[in-house]
Structure 1
Amino acid sequence: MKEYLKKHYPLGLSFWTPVLLMLGYFIYRGFYPFGSSSVLTVDLGQQYVDFFAYFRHTLLHSPSELFYSFSKALGGPMIGEAAYYLLSPFNLLFVFFPGKYLTAGCLLILLLKYGCAGYTFGRLLKNELKLNKWMIPALATSYALMGWMIANQLNMLWLDAPIFLPLIISALYRLLQKKRSLAYVLWLAAMMIINYYMAYMICLFLVLFFAWYQTAYFSGLKKFWSQLYLFISRSLLAVGISAFVLVPTYYSLVTSKGQYTEKSFQSHFEYAPLKMLSKFVIGAFNFEQMPKGFPNLFIGSLALIGVFLYFISLKIKWRPKLAAFLVSVFLWLSLCFEPLDLLWHGMQFPVWYPYRFSFIVSFWMIFLAALALKENQFRLKPHQALICLGIFTAGLSYVYFNSKSFDYVSKQVILFTALFNVLLLLVLTVKKTPLNQRLTPLVIFLLVCFEMLANTTYSLNNISYLTQAEFAGPTKVIAQDQKKLTQLDPGFYRTAQLYSRTKDDGLAHDLKTGSYFSSALEKSIPDFYGQLGQPDGDNYVGYYNGTLISDSLLDMKYLLQAKDKAELVLSSSAKVDLNVTSYRPDTKLYALRAQTAQTRIYQNPYAIGLGYSADKKLKQLKVLYDQPLTYQTNWLNAATGSANTTKYFYAANFNEVVFQNTKKQTNLTGAFFKKTDLAKPAQIIFKFTPETDDPYYLTLGASLDGDSATWYLGSKEYPYYKTFRHTVVLNPTVSGSDDEAVITAKFKKNSLWLENFVLYRMDRSLVEQKLKQLQKNSWQLTKATAHRLTGKIDITKSNQLFATTIPYSKGWQAKVDGKPVKTYKIQDTFVGFDIGQGKHQVTLTFTPPGLYLGIVLSLVSLVLVFTLDIRETKA
C-alpha cells in the first residue's frame, strides 16, 4: 500500500484536492444536505434540475420517453434534448436521488466532476508530459478550479467537456506517436455522445492542436501525411460511432436551434480586448457576467507564470513557440472578434453565458505552462521573474485604474491577486538547496490551493441560490397533484397548470402541462403559442392564459389551480408559497374533482382529445399573429365546418375609465398615454360589470408586458406571466354575480401604449355547442404510450380529415385500419392526414428520424475501429 500511494499520490491528489476544496466551500455556504440553501441557481434551478427529474423518471418507469415526450410543451422528440442535457454518465447517479433529494444529487455530481477534471488533466501531465510529484496536483487543481469551471458550475451539462478534453488530447498523443487508434476514437466518440455542443468546440480545438503538434515535432513530409491520415480517418470514425445519437439529433436541430443560425454578422471586435485582463483577477465573476460578460479565463498565478515562461524561455525551441503563438493569437481573437466567436458557437450567438469555449483557452494556457515549467525544472531565473513581475504589474495596473468598468473588481481582490503573483514568483526563484528542493513543490501546491479556493469563494459569493425549501416545497405540492390526477384518471390527456415552480414542471412530474423551457425547442411551437395568446420565446412556451376554446381543442382535460392565500390560513400544513402564473376565474365553468391542502383540480368537460374528425377547411387555416381570439375563432370554425362569419367573442365596453396624471382619451385600443407630471405616478382605472353569465377575456399587446405597467385586479396585483412578445389573453372575470370588476394599469415608465387592449365577452353557449360537436367524433384512445397511440374514431361525414394536436414531425407514422397513410402538417404545427367515412382504428407511431441510419453507421464504425485495433496490436 505504501508503494502504491508513493507511486500514485499525484493522481490521487489531482482528484481529491478539487473535491475537498469545493466540499469545504459547499459546507461553508450551507448547501443541502449541509444546510438550508441549495446549489440551484439560474438555469440549474429553472431548467436543468427538472430535466434530471425527467431523466430519472424515464429510466425507472418509461424508457421510451427518451425518444418522445408529451410533456415537452404539446409533445416533441426528446433525443435532441437528451443529447444536449442528459447523456452524461454522471447523470445515472440521479436514480438514487428522488424528489427533493435531487439537490443533493446535483451537489454530489458537481463534486465528482471537479475531481474528475483534475484527475484527467493530471493523467495527461503524468503520462504524456512526464511531470511528476507535487507539480501534477498543483496544475491539475488550477485546471479543475479554473474560472470557467466555477462560473459554469450552474451549467452542469457542460462540465463533462473539461473532463474529457485531457483524455482526448492524451489519446491523440498515442495515436500520433504509437499509431494506436482505439483510445482516441472512443474518447472522442464518448464526448460527442455526451454533449455534441461542447464536442463541436473540442473538435475545432483538435485541429489547432494537431497543427501545433506537427509544427513542434515535424520530422518529414512522409510522417506528416501519415499522421494527417490517422488524425482525419480516426476522427471520422469517432463521428461514425456516435452517429446513433448525432444523426437523429441533427434532424431534431433542423427544426429547433438550427432555425436560429446567424446568416450575417459584422467583422468587428465585440469589446476592447484589454478588458479581458480583468478576468485574470481573483473573483472576476458575478450575476451580471452571465447574460453578457467577458470570457472566464482565471487559471491562477502558477499557470500564468508558466505561460509567460513558455514564450521567454530559451530552452523551448522557436518552432513550437511560433506555432503556439499563432494558436494563442487565434484563440485570443476568438474571444473578442465576432466572426470567430460565432464560429466556436456553431454560428449562433449564445443566449446568456457568452464565450462558452473559453475552457479550451484555459486548457491551452495551462498545457503550455506545464511544458514550460517542466523544461525549466520549475525554477525561474531572476530576469524571467522580473519579466513576469512586469507583466503582472502592467495588467493589474490597467485593471486597477479602470476598476469602475468592472463591477466584479475591488481593491481587495486586486491586492490578493498581486499577493499570490508575488509569492509564487518568489518561491519559483528561490535558491536551490536540498531542503528547498523538497519543500518548494509542496509550498507551490499549497499556494495554488489557497489561490483557487479564494477565487471560488469570491466568485460564488456574488451569486444567490434557491433555498432548499423553495425547491422542495413546490416540488412536493406538484407531486401530490400528479398522484391525485393519476388516481382520478389514469388515461392520456393534458393538464393546464395555473401555478408553477418552473416551465418544466410538466417534464419533471410527467404532467403534460403544455409549458416548456429548452434550448432545443422546435420553432413551430412558440410560433403557434404566439398565435394562440400564450407567452412564448425562442426557447420557451407557457400555457397559462387558456380559454374554454383553447383548453378544449388542446385536450387540457384538467386544470391545477393554487388556492388563495386567505384560504390557506385555515390549514396548518399549507406553508408553501406557490407561484401563481395565471388568474382563471373561468375555472368555475369546470367541475371541481379533487383538492389537496394547497390546490384544486378541475375537470374540463369539453376536452376533445388528441385527435378528432375535422372539416377539410382546417387545411386552409392561416397564420394570424396578435389576434389570438380571432385565431381561436377561425380554428373552431374551420374544425367544425362553420361559416367564417360565426363569432364567439364580442367586444365589451367599460362602464367607466378613470385617468390619473394622464390625459383622457375616448378610444382606448391603440391609444398612447403620457404622464402629465413626470414627477408623479400615473394610472388608468377600468371598470365594468358583467351583463351576462359568459366569461370575459382581455387582450394585451406585447407593449403591455411587465416592464411597461403593473396591472391590478381590484386591490391585488394581477397574477399573469409578464414576459411575452405577442398579444396575450387574460381572463379577468366570469359572471355569476353583479360585482363590478376593476382593472388598474399603473405606469412603470413615462408613457403607456394600450396595444391591442380590448375586453371581450365569450358566447359560452355557442362555444359549448361547437365543442360538443367535435367531441362526438373524437379519437377514443385504447392504448397510449409516449411513442405509440392507438384508438377508434367514427367519421360521419365525407369531407373530413383526421386532425390532431400532436406537433408535426417526420417521425410520426400513421396507420388507418392497419394500412399506412401519408401525414401532413396542419395549422403550420400539427399532424393531420386524410381519412374516409366510417368507423376506423387509427394508430400513430413515432420513431426518431435518422435513428436507424445512425445505428447502422455506429455499428459499421465500431466494427472498423476494433478491426483496426486488432491489426495495430499485431503490428
Structure 2
Amino acid sequence: MARLKNRQKTTMLEKAPFLLSFFIPVLIMIGIFIQRQIYPFGDSSFLRTDMYHQYAPFMNEFMEKLKTGGSLSYSWNIGMGSNFVALYAYYLASPFNWLLIIVPQSLLIEFMSYLIVLKIGLSGLSFCWYLSRHFKTRDLGISFFAIFYALSAYMAAYSWNIMWLDCLILAPLVMLGLERLVKEDKCLLYCLTLGLSILSNYYISIMMCIFMVLYFIALLIMEPNHRGIFKKCLNFGIYSLLAGGLAACLLIPVLFALRLTASGDINIPKTLSSYFSCFEMLARHFVNVETETGLDHWPNIYCGVGVLLLLPIYMTNKRIPNREKIVKGVLLFVMLIGFSLNIPNFVWHGFHFPNSLPARQSFLYIIVLLTMCYEAYRNLRSSTGSQLSGSFWGVVIFIFLCEAIITVETFSFKIYYVTLLFVGIYALLLSAYKKGKMYAPTLAILAFTVIAVEASMNTAVTSVSTVNRTSYLENQDSYHALAEAIEKEDSSLFRIEKDTRKTKNDAALAGYRSASLFSSTANSHLSDLYKALGLEGNTNAYSFTGATPLTSSLLGVKYTLSVNELDSELYTLKNTDGNAKLYENRFSLPIGFMVPSDMAEQWNYKGANPALSQNSFVYEAAGCGDILIRSQEGTSSAGKYSFTVPETGFYYVDVTNSSIKDVTFSNGGSTKSFSNVNRGYLLDLGKLEAGDTVTLTTEQEEQNFTADFYRLSLTELQNCIDTLNSQPLIIDHYTDTTVTGRVNASSDGLLYTSIPYEEGWTVKVDGVETEPVIFADTMISISLTAGAHSVEFSYEPDGLKLGLMISLASVLLLILLSTATYAFRKRQKALAERDSSDEQPKVETKQSKAEEKQPEEKQQKQETEQTAAPQMTTES
C-alpha cells in the first residue's frame, strides 16, 4: 500500500510541471478577464484590432457554412464575392475552429475569447513538453520558462490574433521533431507537426520554415559526430517537402489567389537601413514595456526579466559546451538582426513588409532564448558565485545605461525600476537555489509566486483591451432578420449595404451579401477600381464608403440597411425590425446588364478624378450626360474650405489634397466627420439647400485645403439607369458557387456583371464554354450576339484539385516511408538480438573474468577514497 502511494505521488510530481505550465497561464488570463469585466463577468468583450474587424465576422461566416452545409469554396457575403479557400487558409484553418459547429451563434465572441485562453495554456504546455524531452527531465523548473513563453510580450501583443496561435503551440513540437530527425533519424514528428503548422496558418509558417533551416544548420554544427550528414540533409529536404505537400490542398489554391492581392508583388529594398539602436531593441526585454502592433518595427520579445540574468550565466557556464554557446549565440544574433534591419525583416516576413504588426517571427527568438536560459538554470550549481554576482551587476548597469540613453516615450522611468526590482528578487532566488540552503518546496512556491505576479502584471498592463459587447452586437439580429426576409421575397441576386458600418465585414457578421471587405486576401484590382470611382480603397481593403447612386448600382447594391431615416428621393422603405430599417435603392441595376461591345476598351476608368470616371461611364454605356456636375469653387485656406450651395441637391466632395486624412463637415448646427479621407473616396454631404454655407475643416492646419464640389443630377441618373435596365441579366438560380440566368440582347454587345473575376470562374453561354472579357481589369463580362441567351457561371478555386492530389500523394508517400522505415528498424533490431544471442557465451566468459578482478578493484577504490576524504572535508 505504501509502495502504491509512493508511486502515485511520484506520478503526480512528474505531471506537476505540465499541469502548472497549462493552468497558471490559463488562470492568470481568466483573472484578467474578471478584472476587465469580460463576459460573462461583465458586458465587455476581448475584441481587439483585427479580431473586432475581421475574425469575428469571418468566424460567423464559417459557422454558418458549417451549420447550413454551405460551400467552403466561395462566399458572396465577404466583399463582392471572395475565394473562401484562400480566406479560410489565412484566417480560419485552425482545427479548433471546427468546434464552431456546436457553438450557439450568440456565444461566438465568447468562443473566440476563451479559445484564446485555451491556446495560451496549450502554448505553455507545448513548450514545457519540449523542454522536458530536449533535456530529458521533468524538473519543476521547466514550468517556470513555459509560463513565460505562454505569457510573453508576443502573446500580449498578438493573442487576439487567434489565427497565429496554433503555430505558437506547434513551434516547440516542430523543433523537437527536427532535433529527433538530426540526432535519431526519426522524421515523423517533424513532418507531421510542420505540415499541421502550415495547414493551420501558412503565413506564420513561412517564418517557421525559415527558422527551421537556420536551426537545422545550427544542429548540424553542434552535433559532436558529423557522420551521416548527407543522410540528415536528405531527410530534412524530403520530410520538409512532404510537410508542405500535406498542406498543398490549401497552399496551392492560396498561391494562385495571392496573385490578385497587393501582397502578390515583391519589391526588394535596394538599400540596407536600421530601424532602431541595439540598446532600444534589447530594452524591450524589460517588464511592462508597451507592446507594438502599429507601423513601427519594434519586436515584442519580453519573456520574463529573469532572462537578463540567466543569459550571461549560460555564456559563462563551463558545463555547457563552447560550440553550443557560439552556435546558439550566433542564432540569437541573426534573429535580432532580423528585427532591426530592413532587408532581413523583409525576408523573414515572406519577402513582404507587413502592414503593421511587426516582427511576427519573434516568438521563435523567445523559444531559443528561454531554452538557453533554462539550460543555464539547470546548470546553475556548477556556476560560481562570482558569475551570478557579475551577471546581476552587469544587468543593473545595463538598466541604468538604458535609462540614460533611451528617449523613446514608451519607456517610462517606472519600467526601469520595476525591472530592477524583479531582477533583484530573481538574483536572490537563484542564489538560494544555488546554495541549496532553502527548503526546496518553499523556494518553488516563492518562485512560482514571483513568476505569476510578473507575468500577470505585464500581460494586464500591455494587453487585453476591451470593447462594449452590447454595442458591438447592437442591431445584428435585426439586420440578419431583415436580410433573410428580403431574400425570401426577392429571388434575384443582389447586394445589401449599410449607410454606416462598424467594420468593412459587417455583412459576414449579419449574413448578407455586400460590397465591402477588409482582408489580407482582398482583390487588389477591385480596390483599384473602387478608388478610381471615388469609393474607399486600400492595400487590403475596399469599402462602400463614398458611393454615389451610380457606383452603388454598378456594384449590384439594391438595398440599404440603416437605423436612420433616409431621403425618399433616393430610397424607399421596405421593412423594419427593432431600430433597424431596410430600404430599397430607387436607382439600382441588376447583377448584370448589356453595354456596348467596345465598352471595355473605350471606358477609361482611371480618369483624372472619380467624377470624370463616373461621367465617362454613363456616356460610354448609355449615351447620357454628366451625372456629377461640378459646382463653382469655394474659398480655400489653411486647414479650411468654405462653400455656398448654389442649387438644392445631393452633393459630393472630392478632397484633392491627398495629404488630408480627417475632415469635419459643418452646415449650420449639424456636423459630420470623415476619416481616412486620404484614401480618395468622395465625401457624401447629403442633401443641401440653395444658399447654405458649408465648411470643411481639418486639424492638419498646415495643409492647404483644396476640394471640388459636385451636385448629383437625378434626371441624367434616371435616364442612364432606365437605359441600362432595358437589357438585364435575369437570374434563374444561384448558389455559393453557381449562377444561372438569361439575357435578351437587342444587338451585339457586352454583358457586364458585377462578379469579380479570378481564375476559377467558368462561363458558359448557351451551354458552350466561353472565354470571359475582364471589364476594367476586375469584373467578369461576356461578348454576346443579338438575341436570347442562357448564361451560366460556375466557380472552383484555381489549384484546388492539384493541391488535393499533391496532399493525397504526400500522405501515401509518408505512409510508405514510415512503413518502410519501421520494417527496416525492426529487421535491424532482430538482427542485433540474434547477433547478441550468438555472442552470449563469450560475453559471460568476459563477465566472469571481470568479476574475478572486482574484489581487487574494490579494495583499490576504497583506499583511494580514504586518501581523498580528508581533502574533501577540508575543502568543505
Match of 1:712 among 644, 666, 680: 666
- 2:841 maps to none
1:256 positional shift: 0.4
**SS of equivalent residue, structure 1 residue 187:** helix
- 1:576 maps to none
CA distance in 1, matches of 2:104, 2:472: 13
CA distance in 1, matches of 2:372, 2:412: 30
**SS of equivalent residue, structure 2 residue 725:** helix
Judge conservation of contact 1:535–1:721 (CA < 8 Å) in 2: no
Match of 1:696 among 650, 665, 669: 650
- 1:315 maps to 319
Counterpart of 1:56, as a letter, is M
**Larger deviation, residues 174-183 vs 156-165:** 174-183
CA distance in 2, matches of 1:729, 1:435: 71
CA distance in 1, matches of 2:170, 2:528: 38
Match of 2:637 among 673, 677, 688: 673
CA distance in 2, matches of 1:716, 1:597: 26
- 1:543 maps to 544
User: Does 2:231 match 1:226?
Assistant: yes
1:792 positional shift: 1.4
User: Does 2:83 match 1:91?
Assistant: no
**SS of equivalent residue, structure 2 residue 645:** strand
Judge conservation of contact 1:496–1:544 (CA < 8 Å) in 2: no
Alignment of 1:288-299 (within 5 A): 290-299=294-303
Match of 1:686 among 621, 644, 656: 644
Counterpart of 2:334, as a letter, is F
Match of 1:418 among 409, 417, 420: 420
CA distance in 2, matches of 1:135, 1:264: 44
Match of 2:110 among 104, 107, 112: 104
User: Does 2:724 match 1:774?
Assistant: yes
Judge conservation of contact 2:662–2:674 (CA < 8 Å) in 1: no
**Larger deviation, residues 431-440 vs 854-863:** 431-440
Match of 2:24 among 6, 10, 17: 17
CA distance in 2, matches of 1:229, 1:626: 57
Judge conservation of contact 1:280–1:297 (CA < 8 Å) in 2: yes
1:267 positional shift: 0.5
- 1:451 maps to 454
- 2:708 maps to 757
- 1:572 maps to none
CA distance in 2, matches of 1:292, 1:319: 36
Judge conservation of contact 1:714–1:742 (CA < 8 Å) in 2: yes
- 1:274 maps to 279
Counterpart of 1:779, as a letter, is L
Counterpart of 1:278, as a letter, is A
Per-residue CA distance 1:81-115 (angstroms, 9 max, x = gap): 21111111222334444455322112211111111
**SS of equivalent residue, structure 2 residue 135:** coil
- 1:662 maps to none
Counterpart of 1:701, as a letter, is V
User: Does 2:580 match 1:599?
Assistant: yes
User: Does 2:695 match 1:744?
Assistant: yes
User: Does 2:139 match 1:133?
Assistant: yes
CA distance in 2, matches of 1:638, 1:506: 32
- Alignment TM-score, normalising by the size of structure 1: 0.88
Judge conservation of contact 2:630–2:708 (CA < 8 Å) in 1: no
Alignment of 1:30-429 (within 5 A): 30-64=37-71, 66-220=72-226, 222-286=227-291, 290-376=294-380, 380-402=383-405, 405-429=407-431
1:296 positional shift: 0.9
Judge conservation of contact 2:570–2:587 (CA < 8 Å) in 1: no
1:865 positional shift: 0.5
1:649 positional shift: 3.5
Per-residue CA distance 1:393-414 (angstroms, 9 max, x = gap): 12211232246x2333333332
Give ranges in structure 2 of 5+ residues lacking alignment.
Answer: 1-7, 826-876
Match of 2:684 among 720, 730, 734: 730
**SS of equivalent residue, structure 1 residue 745:** strand
CA distance in 1, matches of 2:167, 2:134: 19
Counterpart of 1:846, as a letter, is Y
CA distance in 2, matches of 1:773, 1:16: 67
CA distance in 1, matches of 2:673, 2:408: 37
- Alignment TM-score, normalising by the size of structure 2: 0.88
1:212 positional shift: 1.4
CA distance in 2, matches of 1:180, 1:833: 56
Counterpart of 1:833, as a letter, is I
Match of 1:635 among 617, 631, 639: 617
1:184–1:217 CA distance, 2 compared to 1 (3 A): same
1:185 positional shift: 1.0
1:68 positional shift: 1.7
Alignment of 1:815-826 (within 5 A): 815-826=764-775
**SS of equivalent residue, structure 2 residue 815:** helix
1:187 positional shift: 0.8
1:436 positional shift: 3.4
- 1:522 maps to 523
Q: Which has the larger radius of gyration?
A: 2
Per-residue CA distance 1:217-246 (angstroms, 9 max, x = gap): 1413x4111111111110011111111101
CA distance in 2, matches of 1:4, 1:283: 37
CA RMSD after TM alignment = 2.4
Counterpart of 2:49, as a letter, is V
1:123 positional shift: 0.9
1:335–1:814 CA distance, 2 compared to 1 (3 A): same
**SS of equivalent residue, structure 1 residue 559:** strand
Alignment of 1:606-625 (within 5 A): 606-620=587-601, 621-625=603-607
* Count of residue correspondences: 815
1:499–1:727 CA distance, 2 compared to 1 (3 A): closer
Judge conservation of contact 2:549–2:588 (CA < 8 Å) in 1: no
**SS of equivalent residue, structure 1 residue 602:** strand
Match of 1:840 among 782, 786, 789: 789
CA distance in 1, matches of 2:769, 2:76: 23
Counterpart of 1:732, as a letter, is G
CA distance in 2, matches of 1:74, 1:699: 25
CA distance in 1, matches of 2:700, 2:180: 63
**SS of equivalent residue, structure 2 residue 588:** coil
Judge conservation of contact 1:23–1:111 (CA < 8 Å) in 2: yes
Counterpart of 1:285, as a letter, is E
Per-residue CA distance 1:766-804 (angstroms, 9 max, x = gap): 43233223223211111111211111111221x212221
CA distance in 2, matches of 1:294, 1:59: 39
**Larger deviation, residues 723-732 vs 100-109:** 723-732
CA distance in 2, matches of 1:547, 1:168: 52
1:747 positional shift: 4.8
1:94–1:396 CA distance, 2 compared to 1 (3 A): farther
CA distance in 1, matches of 2:557, 2:438: 76
1:439–1:227 CA distance, 2 compared to 1 (3 A): farther
Counterpart of 2:28, as a letter, is L
1:482–1:395 CA distance, 2 compared to 1 (3 A): farther
Give ranges in structure 1 of 5+ residues lacking alignment.
Answer: 565-583, 654-666, 676-681
- 1:552 maps to 553
CA distance in 1, matches of 2:184, 2:441: 35
Judge conservation of contact 1:32–1:103 (CA < 8 Å) in 2: no
Match of 2:736 among 772, 776, 786: 786
1:686 positional shift: 2.3
1:260 positional shift: 4.5
**SS of equivalent residue, structure 2 residue 687:** strand
Judge conservation of contact 2:309–2:395 (CA < 8 Å) in 1: no
Per-residue CA distance 1:276-331 (angstroms, 9 max, x = gap): 13211111115x65332521111113344332222111111111222112212111
1:713–1:784 CA distance, 2 compared to 1 (3 A): farther
**Larger deviation, residues 36-45 vs 246-255:** 36-45
CA distance in 2, matches of 1:717, 1:732: 12
**SS of equivalent residue, structure 2 residue 706:** coil
1:483 positional shift: 3.7
1:473 positional shift: 1.6
1:471 positional shift: 1.3
1:672 positional shift: 4.8
